[in-house]
Amino acid sequence: MGRVLLGLAVGCAVVGCGIAAVAVGRRARSRRAWGRAVAVLKELEEGCATPTSRLRQVVDAMAVEMHAGLASDGGSKLKMLLTFVDALPDGNETGTYYALDLGATTFRVLKVQLGGKRSMILRHQFEQHPIPADLMTGTSEDLFDFLAMTLRNFVERENDGFQQSDKRKELGLTFSFPVRQLSVSSGILIKWTKGFAIEDAVGKDVAQCLQEALTKSGLDMRVAALVNDTVGTLALGHYHDEDTVVAVIIGTGTNACYIERVDAIIKCQGLLTNSGGMVINMEWGNFWSSHLPRTPYDFALDDESLNRNDQGFEKMISGMYLGDIVRRVLLRIALESDVFGDSAQSLSKPFILRTPLMAAIHEDDSPNLKEVGRILEENLQMPNISLKARRLVVRVCDVITQRAARLAAAGIVGILKKIGRDGSGGVASGRAIGKVRRTVVAIEGGIYANYSTFREYLKEALVEILGEEIVRNVILRAYEDGSGIGAALLAASHSSEW
């Protein structure tokens, strides 16, 4: 009996040791897995770091590239496109105008009624429609026919309550892609961005394409203005506040425009205009500088994109890409550790983590990051992710968004520097160091409007770069739908009626 008991005791001890060994082994493996995950995070943090000194280098590079882009065609990756907009709407415009705003995966049609005598915008109505995915890579005729038909239906539906007139209707076309303008109402598409790839449209006058489609659809309407979304936003911003001299879009894509002094343009391009300035569409999404903190995830994203080696700044900042950078980091963590268990296959699917979802993960303030868990489970098929791993996911979102917002801030200060409003008292300003006149920057786009942490990081970086004193005179003013309403305003100020 004693021997049996002894045998049992030894047996239990062996089993117990075995269990303990398995547990210890599991703990050690888990520690190693976490070690690898944390190492990936640390490397990411270092790769994405944007200390103020680096942001200042980006500011300088932006100002230098702006000069170079203005000086000669192809002088910089910044295209610095002339818009031929040398006067912005001043509030005296009257009548009803239309706009068609094509920027990304959705487009808007709008109708705006203007009362003149600075009575501002009396009414505006709009409709938003998705662009069918096949039209984004089809033919230009199909795209413009679709836009014209949707506009025609809108015009027919939306007549109620507006003053009607028999005059030919006038339209502002917001076309948010790089266009070499030939006049304020015509321009050639240079290339597509943001996932569009309609090859036969490149090199064509997009205003003329729409004009032909409108005529075909039976709609008596003239394209009176062709503008970039930044230019539309600047027009609306300036309409409300004359100190608005810069406009920035941070949405699916990112870009900026500003009012350049005419002598700078004449000096650079021998061009004469009848006013003090002209709006320049920078196409800053294509800005590039060796000072930008680029990681292997950015290289891989670029390699696999439709527009390789293009839009480098945009790929680090805008809504089309932020979620996918995060996905790439999470995928690497999943491949190198088991902190997400074995349910992270969906992370290998490009663009499965859209930026709005990433923002929701980042801004989850529910107890124990419940919302993060829900999104991972429902949208990425990653159930039962531990709290510690959920925290890691949030931190990755934070690193990527902070870098994006801080770079956007540096871009804005780069423009202020170029126009002598950064308080540095550069040659352009002729002003004393430390003084800057009130300067308003109009901002639009889903990332800026809906992602409050992004906004906070951007503002924080502006203060860091410019200092408390100067930043007080730099006002960021957010607009909704400025790109569309602004285009209608520009159609009004460039209407054949005037």
* Residue 84: CB minimum distance to ligand GLC, A: 16
Distance CA 296, CA 228 (A): 32
Q: Which is nearer to ligand GLC, 253 or 411 (CB)?
A: 253
* Residue 443: CB minimum distance to ligand GLC, A: 12
Using alpha carbons, list the distances in angstroms from residue 223 to 183, 211, 214, 320, 443: 12, 6, 9, 29, 25
User: Which of 69, 95, 103, 277 touches ligand GLC by CB under 6 A?
Assistant: 103
Of 170-178, 342-350, 361-369, 417-425, the segment contacting ligand GLC by CB under 6 A is 170-178
DSSP letter string over 400-442? HHHHHHHHHHHHHHHHHHHTT-SSS--TTT-SPTT----EEEE
Distance CA 50, CA 403 (A): 6
User: Which of 98, 154, 177, 451 touches ligand GLC by CB under 6 A?
Assistant: 177
Nearest of 54, 48, 314 to residue 178 by alpha carbon: 314
* Residue 104: CB minimum distance to ligand GLC, A: 7
* Residue 174 touches ligand GLC, criterion: CB under 6 A: no
Q: φ, ψ for residue 459 (rounded to 5)?
A: -65, -40
Decide if 98 contacts 155 (C-beta within 8 A).
yes
Task: Provide the CA 274 distance to its chain's centre, in angstroms.
Answer: 33
User: Which of 96, 181, 228, 401 touches ligand GLC by CB under 6 A?
Assistant: 228
Q: Which is nearer to ligand GLC, 176 or 244 (CB)?
A: 176
* Residue 240: CB minimum distance to ligand GLC, A: 20
Residue type, 174: T
Residue type, 74: G
Q: What number of chain residues touch ligand GLC (CB under 6 A)?
A: 17
Q: Please enumerate in sequence order all residues whose Cβ is within 8 A of that of 452, keeping only pairs 6 or more positions apart, or say none.
A: 363
Please name the helix (run of DSSP H) or strand (run of DSSP E) that holds residue 117, with its range, or none. none
Site for ligand GLC in 38-97 (CB under 6 A): none
* Residue 283 touches ligand GLC, criterion: CB under 6 A: yes
Q: Which is nearer to ligand GLC, 283 or 422 (CB)?
A: 283
Q: Which is nearer to ligand GLC, 37 or 179 (CB)?
A: 179
User: Which of 108, 194, 291, 390 touches ligand GLC by CB under 6 A?
Assistant: 194
Q: Which is nearer to ligand GLC, 230 or 424 (CB)?
A: 230
Assign residue 423 a region: left if phi > 0, alpha if psi is -120 to 50, beta otherwise? left
Residue type, 214: L
* Residue 172 touches ligand GLC, criterion: CB under 6 A: no
User: Which of 150, 230, 244, 424 touches ligand GLC by CB under 6 A?
Assistant: 230
Instruction: Report which DSSP code applies to 188.
Output: E
* Residue 230: CB minimum distance to ligand GLC, A: 5
Decide if 448 contacts 73 (C-beta within 8 A).
no
Site for ligand GLC in 303-332 (CB under 6 A): 314
User: Which of 69, 95, 172, 251 touches ligand GLC by CB under 6 A?
Assistant: 251
Decide if 368 contacts 387 (C-beta within 8 A).
yes
Residue type, 71: A
Site for ligand GLC in 375-404 (CB under 6 A): none
* Residue 364 touches ligand GLC, criterion: CB under 6 A: no
Of 112-120, 127-135, 227-235, 470-478, the segment contacting ligand GLC by CB under 6 A is 227-235
Residue whose token pair is 């410019």: 466
Nearest of 317, 322, 321 to residue 305 by alpha carbon: 321
Nearest of 395, 398, 382 to residue 339 by alpha carbon: 382
Q: What are 275-279's contacts with CB under 8 Å, separation 24+?
A: 275/86, 275/87, 277/86, 278/82, 278/83, 278/84, 278/85, 278/86, 279/83, 279/85, 279/86, 279/88, 279/231, 279/234
* Residue 302 touches ligand GLC, criterion: CB under 6 A: no
User: Which of 93, 101, 170, 229 touches ligand GLC by CB under 6 A?
Assistant: 229
**Cβ neighbour number for residue 216 with a 10 Å cutoff:** 13
Of 69-77, 173-181, 370-378, 421-429, the segment contacting ligand GLC by CB under 6 A is 173-181
Q: Which is nearer to ligand GLC, 248 or 376 (CB)?
A: 248
* Residue 253 touches ligand GLC, criterion: CB under 6 A: yes
* Residue 194: CB minimum distance to ligand GLC, A: 6
Residues that bind ligand GLC (CB under 6 A): 103, 176-178, 193-194, 228-230, 249, 251, 253-255, 283, 285, 314
